[in-house]
Amino acid sequence: MSHNGRAVGPMHAGERRSAPVDPAASSARPRGLVWDWSAAAPAAVYALPAAAVSTIDVSLGLALAVGVLPASIAGVAPTRRGRRAVVLLGLLVGVPMFLGGLLSGVPVLAVAAIALLGPATALLATRARLGLLAMNLSLPLVGIGLSYADAGEAAALAALMVAGSVFAFAVSLLWPERAPQARRAAPGLPTLDYGICLGAAGATAAAIGFAADLDHVGWATGAALLVMRPVADMQRIRSVGRVLAVIAGAVAGIALVRLDPPGLVYGAAAVVALAGVGGTHRSRWYVTAAFTTFLVFLLLLHADVEDAAHRFGERVGETLLGVGLAYLFGLALPALVRRRRAPEPPR
């Protein structure tokens, strides 16, 4: 999900003696794809209630599975005290998503909020570890929340995220403590310029989504904000990874739904997906989107498989739109600015 690298140029931060660490985007991933059984096992346990409920009510069961996604991605902290942070993670996911749902009712306000939150969270990220989480996680969730025009639906999903994280915290206490690993330094901290570009990418995606009256405005907005990173190489990896992962997850979800399986199979699929999220969360390649898209497609299509082609085109198209805007504002424009700012060689 992340990549070694050092921020360079005017759009990125220089070297710093001490830097907060974002656990979702830390550096030094040893291999492209990593499988970690110690993280996959608890994530699978988190999914068991969802699997049980799916045998009775598929929609509710899959919704419960979505609720424990943040905890599954985060993994189990080494110490029991540190595991309390997963509850905070649920809040950092659920509350911004709810905020996005509220903002979606006033498109102009929503676009302006995304544009302003980009530089605001970038500045916060230079000062605190929580700021990196706000920039790399909470801000994209505000964007994703724009898909929920119904405030009640947004509130219910936010509550599921928080409740799922509380449940995951309780389950994580069953795992023995282990020695903490050395914390990795973040590969590059953002500058104000980067934050402005981040906000511009998300705001442009949201503006296009509202203007085009897309069904899920948050899909393109979230994609743009999730793939952008202060380190150019990291963003390139995340961009390619997200497109491929979304396509793979959507195809797998559609294939399963077309089989018209019983609720028990949907429950088992949720367990496998969440175990996959947990087991691969330390990978350098950005594969999380395959599992999240798979769950989203099961939730959207299990009762309406005839809508599969439309949903596939919508999800992939909006992902490409978001990734393209991230490329424009995160890579192309900064490169142009660097060239213009570079001193001319002596004649």
pLDDT 10s digits, 23-52 = 344 334 446 888 989 899 999 999 999 999
Structure-model confidence comparison of residues 141 and 21, the more confident one: 141
> At residue 62, does pLDDT exceed 90?
yes
- Cα–Cα distance, 102 to 144 (Å, whole number): 12
Q: Mean pLDDT, to the nearest integer, of 64-73?
A: 94
pLDDT value at position 182?
Answer: 66
| More confident position, 276 or 283 | 276
Residue 194's pLDDT band (cuts 50, 70, 90):
very high
- Above 50 in pLDDT, residue 103? yes
Contact 270, 52 (CB under 8 A): no
Q: What is the mean pLDDT of residues 151-159?
A: 89
Q: Looking at residues 217-238, what average pLDDT do you find?
A: 95
Angle at 194 between CA 115 and CA 120, to 5 degrees: 50
Rounded Cα–Cα distance for residues 292 and 243 (Å):
13
Most confident segment among 16-25, 89-98, 277-286: 89-98
pLDDT at 38: 87
Query: Would you place residue 135 in the very low, low, confident or very high pLDDT band (cuts 50, 70, 90)?
Result: very high
Residue 184's pLDDT is 64
Residue scoring higher pLDDT (150 or 69): 69
Given pLDDT bands bounded at 50, 70 and 90, which one contains residue 14?
very low
- pLDDT score, position 12: 38
Arithmetic mean of pLDDT, 321-335: 95
Greater model confidence, 204 or 23: 204
Q: Which of 57-61, 181-185, 217-221, 266-270 has the lowest mean pLDDT?
A: 181-185
Mean pLDDT of the chain: 88
Higher pLDDT, 1 or 116: 116
At residue 178 the predicted structure's pLDDT band, cuts being 50, 70 and 90, is confident
**Of 55, 71, 122, residue with least CA distance to 264:** 55
**Cα radius of gyration rounded to whole Å, the chain:** 20
Per-residue pLDDT at 346 = 61
Average pLDDT of 307-312? 94
The residue-averaged pLDDT of 14-18 equals 36
CA dihedral 92, 283, 222, 143 (to 10 degrees): 10
pLDDT score for 339: 83
User: Higher pLDDT residue, 179 or 248?
Assistant: 248
Of residues 100 and 129, more confidently modeled: 100
Mean of the pLDDT values across residues 166-189? 82
